[in-house]
Structure 1
Amino acid sequence: MSQVRVLIADGFAKDGLDIFSKNSSFQIESRKATPADELLKIIADYQCLIVRSASKVTKDVMDKGTNLKLIVRGGAGVDNIDVPYATSKGIAVMNTATANSLAVAEQVFALMFSMLRMIPQGAMSLRDGKWEKSKFTGREATGKTLGLIGLGNIGRIVAEKAVAFGMKVVGFDPMIKLQAQLGGALGASSAFSFAGSVEEVLRAAHIVSLHVPKNKDTLNLINSARIDLMRDGAYVINCSRGGIANEDDVMAALDRGKLGGAAFDVYDPEPPQFPKKLFEHPKCVCVPHLGASSHEAQDRVSTTAADQIIGFFTEGKRLGVINKV
């Protein structure tokens, strides 16, 4: 076969590049970042495009990419790729769904404890030369009920770790009908209960964590009406996608005391426009989409993507392909 030209638009870990370097069938151009106008100018030269969350693969990109056979999302979410249009043009779309799941799950707990114990606020107080010990009396996670909306790879890891922390877990996923379908220890755990709806999770939980893809059904999933169903003083964590939790409604609920705190790793749009009121709210912990930003996750994403791409072009394998073309 002739060489496959691969454009890496948003950076790629060395481990994945090393895999490609051992296969003469692939010619790689790796960029740390690619402006949208530049991507349109160069995409016609490539059969494969690899992106993370920064680059948007729009209709225009695919129309210009006359040789594109495969678009790869390093990570799970593909909301930055127009998948239906790719399908209509016969372009396969692939992701690395499980490669960063552990990193995102751990990020949920980092944000949870930061939020419950007001760790960022306490750290900033010390930087300001203050010793405000009594001001930052927080809450424990043990014994609390964690509500999970979405029980895919990340949601299940979060559930298992929450049980180990001594939490109770209630979860809902429209694709899962029985707890036994979860498998493993979680499928039979007495600390886990399966809810029949989003609303049932919200009513039961002290802390709610979101783990769903972004689409028309999940946009503004957490809004003022649903927040009103929650316990007084409950907490919300969004490590899924920006816009699934309505930021304005969350801030309003924080201001009136309905919510005790919130934590965000994702926003709509990204990067956000500054200044942003959410980032300044005293009851909110916000970080710049760091869920998958561990060295280990970046290595797994790159090696998984490289292996899947090589299999796709050299053996016709479809591991990781999410559309039918």
Structure 2
Amino acid sequence: MSKFLFIRSTNLETRWPFVPERVVCRLQEIGEVVVVNNDDQSPISVQMDLSDIDGVIFWDGGPELTDACIEAAPRLKMVGAVADNAGMGLPVEALFTRDISIIDGTRGWAQSVAELGLGLALSALRRVPWWHQRMRSEAPETVWQYEADQYCDDSRFVNGTLGSKQVGVVGLGQIGRRVAAWCDALGATVGGYDPFISKEAV
């Protein structure tokens, strides 16, 4: 049976309610799980024996994973962490040398961030904050007296329909691709730029 080490900060639930429990439940479906509540930044190999560990999952800080840790874990096959696309904070070369898989947890919230970005763009186009402030501060009989072609538009402001716009997306990673696809679905003319992705990949 595989054995996993789940390393987490002591106050993880305050930032991510329910997540730690679900992570443990999912891992228990495929093996034994050892949970370490630890804010100590020293290498994990100094703190405990890694000789029988098959996978390490880091979430929200905790001990450092170093080259020495990889050497101390001969059975290690995967490392999961909230890092970035370059594996920041991980001994990438040592992991690649051992052919150990790296699972980037940051992609897990790409959907919610992309939705927020699109929501803010639509809110700005339709001037929702401005109208909200008017409704709170002005008399009801004057709020709706405006010159516009359609609801929430203004003759002094560009038309608020996304479908009539040209949209540029800088960065076509997990978030940018979603935003670009949704803008395209809403009828916008979409262009994107990312120096790290080829046209074929897009």
Partner of 1:55: 61
Check conservation: 2:172, 2:194, Cα contact below 8 A: yes
TM-superposed CA distance for 1:122, in Å, is 5.9
**Structure 2 residue corresponding to 1:171, chosen from 192, 195, 198:** 192
- What residue is the counterpart of 1:151 in the other structure? 172
* Correspondence list, 1:1-325, <5 A: 1=1, 4-9=3-8, 11=12, 12-23=19-30, 25-29=31-35, 31=37, 34-35=38-39, 38-40=40-42, 44-45=47-48, 46=50, 47=53, 48-52=55-59, 54-55=60-61, 61-62=65-66, 65=69, 67-68=72-73, 69=76, 70-74=78-82, 77=85, 80-84=88-92, 86-87=94-95, 90=98, 92-96=101-105, 99-120=108-129, 125=133, 130-131=137-138, 140=160, 141-174=162-195, 175-178=197-200, 181-182=201-202
Shift of 1:144: 1.4
Matching residue's letter, 2:113: V
| CA distance in 2 between partners of 1:108 and 1:57 (Å) | 33
1:51 is aligned with what amino acid? F
Distance 2:137 2:114 in 1: 33
CA distance in 1, matches of 2:95, 2:27: 26
Q: TM-score, normalising length from structure 1?
A: 0.40
**Displacement, 1:76?**
5.9
Change (3 A) 1:170 1:22: closer
Cα distance in 2 for partners of 1:171, 1:126 equals: 35
CA 1:15 to 1:27, structure 2 compared with 1: closer, same or farther past 3 Å?
closer
Work out the CA distance in 2 between the residues paired with 1:173 and 1:42. 36
Query: Does the C-alpha gap of structure 1 residues 64 and 39 become closer, same or farther in structure 2, counting only changes over 3 Å?
Result: farther
Over the aligned positions, Cα root-mean-square deviation in angstroms equals 4.1
TM-score (norm 2): 0.58
| Identity percentage of aligned residues | 19
AA aligned opposite 1:81: G
**TM-aligned CA deviation for residue 164 of structure 1:** 1.8
Deviation at 1:83, TM superposition (A): 4.5
**Higher RCO (Cα < 8 Å, 6 or more apart):** 1
